Amino acid sequence: MGCFAFRSGKGRSKSQPAAGAKTAPAKSPPASDSSGGGGQRSKASSASASTPTRSIQELSDERGAQRLRVFDLEELGSATNGFSRALKVGEGGFGSVYRAFFRSAGGGRVFLAVKRLNQRSLQGHKQWLAEVQFLGVLEHPNLVKLIGYCAVDSEAGKHRLLVYEFMPNKTLDDHLFNRAHPPLSWRLRLQIMIGAARGLDYLHEGVPEVQVIYRDFKASNILLDAEFKPKLSDFGLAREGPTEGKTHVSTAMEPPPPPADKKGGDGRPPPSAKR
């Protein structure tokens, strides 16, 4: 068995303007020019200069290997007591989430969350890889922190796992619709809304090299830490925004494939299903 590893980053861009580099100011149009054409050209030039030019793949190759830890499958199994149902804290379209126990360098116990891909999940490796790439690059107080990952292919099947910081207060969805939790105060509700908005603003404008379209903003993807500070999670459906030379991107969701037992090989119902 072997664990998935990032590429060495040979394909990264070699030229990038320094963060503090100065640029020549745009010339203002002559006073006699009343058409405003010069101002429009200046705005177009400014918009072109601010358009992201690097892909999330390049940024992931460059930064992800430094920020993320590669876990062994055996280590994650031990930390979750063999993926025990007693340590299961949630389940979604990707798979199950477990509370895991790790030993810190000082000998104390550290709680983390381990998300394990369901073998029958329709999301699969593509969404797992998107999480690794986006959260290996993005970093903000209102985004969940990805600690590391594991990918192992064995005779038993393909294993894809993600390790996050643990959110003890679960999701906003739990507190809004589960009567087992007391109602949130208006102060907390406002705090959560503002934090979630700041997370979205960071995705759209906070990363100079790339813009991110989240595409999965909902209460069940807003995690709450011990102080009820919100953190956006689940980036399996995220996409990059427009890059240089493109004016827009499609955000349409791809429909899941039909179940194998519902249709035949030609797309029509099998003979046994006809009346």
Q: How many CB atoms lie within 10 A of CB 90?
A: 17
- In this prediction, the residues of the chain whose per-residue pLDDT falls under 50 are 1-49, 261-275
Number of structural domains found in the chain: 1
Whole-number pLDDT of residue 43: 43
CATH number at residue 120: 1.10.510.10
- Residue 145 domain-assigned (yes or no): yes
Whole-number pLDDT of residue 159: 92
Alpha helices, H only, 51-164: 56-59, 65-67, 73-79, 124-137
Q: Which amino acid is at 24?
A: A
Whole-number pLDDT of residue 158: 87
Whole-number pLDDT of residue 246: 62
Alpha helices, H only, the chain: 37-50, 56-59, 65-67, 73-79, 124-137, 172-177, 186-201
- Residue 71 domain-assigned (yes or no): yes
14 is known to lie in a ligand binding site: no
Q: Which residues contact 217 (CB under 8 A, 6 or more apart)?
A: 196, 200, 232
Range of the domain at 89: 65-240
- Residue 208 domain-assigned (yes or no): yes
**pLDDT tens sequence across 133-183:** 999 999 999 999 999 999 998 887 889 999 999 999 999 999 999 999 999
- Residue 220 domain-assigned (yes or no): yes
Q: Which of 216, 234, 261, 266 is catalytic?
A: 216
- Is 201 an active-site residue? no
